[in-house]
């Protein structure tokens, strides 16, 4: 439930390299994200400068784990972790500073709305996450020569194609991806790491670093200051 616990798990796992542990950020394994990562790395939109994203749904059931502070509920832990993860993934680095404004539920004591800014050496990422706002998920990526937007960035359906759009030089190009299940792809790759005794696709140090960002965002909200990492 915090970076210290994540680090402890990482430290213990290093003692048993034959055992495989991985954080299940399923979105990274969908072909649309693999394609977008390739487009950014190849300079398709020029230099990556900014990311704008959001992820939300409405859940006010007091018995939902989303609203349980004891079990790691709240918008940042449940869904805000995705905008944070994708920002670190696309910039291929850790933020140098973060700032946030967060609203907490008076009864549940979990965060229900979080607005965050992550500042990287080469650009910035702004996002919001909420567990008391209508269903929404959006990602837009901006470079010096173009931009990319998603139809359904985080949990695309496994029974129909999904699309992204490349905007460049006044032309909007649609790129469609065949039907697939990102959870199945993730499970297959994890299984291959076990069978072949290779490193898992998303190693635990990535999970530790993502958790550190979440904690620093909460610190920023508490102090009202930008927090350096």
Domain boundaries, the chain: 3-90+97-220
pLDDT per position as a tens digit, 24-83 = 999 999 999 999 999 999 999 999 999 999 999 999 999 999 999 999 999 999 999 999
Return phi, psi of residue 37, to 5°: -60, -40
Residues 72, 55: Cα–Cα separation, whole Å = 17
pLDDT per position as a tens digit, 79-131 = 999 999 999 999 999 999 999 999 999 999 999 999 999 999 999 999 999 99
Residues 17, 118: Cα–Cα separation, whole Å = 33
Residues 83, 211: Cα–Cα separation, whole Å = 12
User: Does the pTM exceed 0.85?
Assistant: yes
pLDDT per position as a tens digit, 164-198 = 999 999 999 999 999 999 999 999 999 999 999 99
CA 114, distance to chain mean position in Å, is: 14
3-90+97-220: CATH topology: Dihydrodipicolinate Reductase; domain 2 (3.30.360)
């Amino acid at each position: 439930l915090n970076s210290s616990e994540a680090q402890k798990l990482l430290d213990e796992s290093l003692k048993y390299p034959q055992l495989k542990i991985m954080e299940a950020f399923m979105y990274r394994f969908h072909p649309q994200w693999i394609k977008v990562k390739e487009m950014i790395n190849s300079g398709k939109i020029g230099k990556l400068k900014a990311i704008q994203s959001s992820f939300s749904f409405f859940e006010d059931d007091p018995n939902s784990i989303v609203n349980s502070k004891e079990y790691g509920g709240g918008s940042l832990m449940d869904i805000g972790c995705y905008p944070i993860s994708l920002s670190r993934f696309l910039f291929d680095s850790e933020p140098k500073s973060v700032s946030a404004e967060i609203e907490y539920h008076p009864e549940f004591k979990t965060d229900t709305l979080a607005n965050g800014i992550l500042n990287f050496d080469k650009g910035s990422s702004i996002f919001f996450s909420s567990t008391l706002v209508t269903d929404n998920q959006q990602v837009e990526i901006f470079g010096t020569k173009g931009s990319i937007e998603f139809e359904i960035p985080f949990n695309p359906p496994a029974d129909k194609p999904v699309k992204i759009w490349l905007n460049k030089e006044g032309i909007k190009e649609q790129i469609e991806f065949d039907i697939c299940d990102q959870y199945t792809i993730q499970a297959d790759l994890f299984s291959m790491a076990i069978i072949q005794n290779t490193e898992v696709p998303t190693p635990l140090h990535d999970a530790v670093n993502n958790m550190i960002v979440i904690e620093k965002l909460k610190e920023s909200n508490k102090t009202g200051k930008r927090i350096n990492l």
